[in-house]
Structure 1
Amino acid sequence: MSITMNLYYTGKDGNARKFAEEMEQSGTAALIRAEDGNEKYDYFFPMSDPETVLLIDSWKDQESIDVHHASPMMNTIAELREKYDLHMRAERYISDDESISDADKKFIKK
């Protein structure tokens, strides 16, 4: 089981992309990827909305998320969100990889 958060950062004048770029260039994103329990931390850019960035952030369990949220790194992230005046929307998913149906598997090319 994994817990995945889809975080949509929205701003103006390209600020969401600038935020993601600074997270990558500053090494903050790499530090998060190195945290115990982090399974994925990647930014994506929706083609239909140039002012939004999607962060897919996956963790092995809730404890890993809680440790991450209690870390000083969250202050850095919060400061960057404020710097770029970003608004957020979140979606939370729990993986269920073990029960992908045979009907669904035929559409998945590995």
Structure 2
Amino acid sequence: MNSQSEFNSEFCNVRYMESDNVVLLTWKKFARINDYREPTHFALQLLQQHPQSNFVVDARNGFEDDPEDVKWGFSELLPSMAKTDCQFVILIMEKAAAIEDEMDMWTKELGKYFAVIKVQSYQQAIRQMKDGLLVNVRYTVKPGKRNAFLEETSRQGIISESRTEPGNIKYEYYIPVESENDLFLMEMWVSSEAQAAHGKTAHYKMLQALKEEYITAITIEKYHTSAISN
């Protein structure tokens, strides 16, 4: 039986978890077309209704792999989700799941809009969101050197190595439209300890050398995700 706060079918269950401010979609078995699209659209509506809510998908018992549904999800569902203030998408799945390749494809696409975390239980999902650390870094780059700085961080593997660290959720550079010499970096880590470990890596030391060459000023802001979600 479905209501304004919960959707239930033989394929899945979608409901709002008020205590955690989370929209939880639990797949019961593989679904496609309307059996997939109707509940995911319902989840979108719940995200729209509940400010700063995040999205948890329990895919341990199934998911979907219909090409048309994937196309719909990428072109319609995710851009609509991106207009909400959801920050995290948590994927619950077994460590060696049969759908791991498919979930990696979704993870890559979701990562364009959200911080994506893979866990093995709902409890772990909530803990990861509450323990996370968001780091906003604003660089002032020497005039005319912004592209060169970005090219060097990519060429030296700094960006790719940072993204593959065990505790990294998101590591992304953005170019502010209002300035020719500013650069914005958003980092998200599963914990303060993970971010501290990042500062001890070889690629982080390479980044420091590039900063000395290209950067004139740095502003850093750190937020625990528990404070953001409260």
User: Which of the five TM-score ranges fits, normalised by the shorter chain?
Assistant: 0.7 to 0.9
Within 5 Å, give how 1:88-103 maps onto structure 2: 88-96=218-226, 99=229
Distance 1:47 1:23 in 2: 21
CA distance in 2, matches of 1:53, 1:47: 10
Aligned-CA RMSD value: 2.0
Matches for 1:31-46 after TM superposition, within 5 Å: 31-46=161-176
- Normalization by structure 1: what TM-score? 0.79
Aligned AA for 2:217?
H
Match of 2:172, SS? strand
Q: Which has the higher contact order (CA 8 A, sep 6+)?
A: 1
Greater C-alpha Rg? 2
Aligned residues: percent identity? 27
Q: 1:74 aligns with which of 188, 204, 207?
A: 204
The aligned length equals 100
Partner of 2:187: 57
User: 1:74–1:99: structure 2 CA closer, same or farther, 3 Å change rule?
Assistant: closer
Q: Indicate which of 3, 17, 26 corresponds to 2:147.
A: 17
Which residue pairs with 1:105 in the alignment? none
Unaligned runs of 5+ in 1: 101-110
Say whether 1:7 aligns with 2:145: no
1:94 offset after TM fit, Å? 1.7
Distance 1:90 1:18 in 2: 22
TM normalised by structure 2 equals 0.40
| Equivalent in the alignment of 2:158 | 28
Deviation at 1:95, TM superposition (A): 1.5
Q: Is the CA contact (8 Å cut-off) linking 1:9 and 1:16 kept in structure 2?
A: no
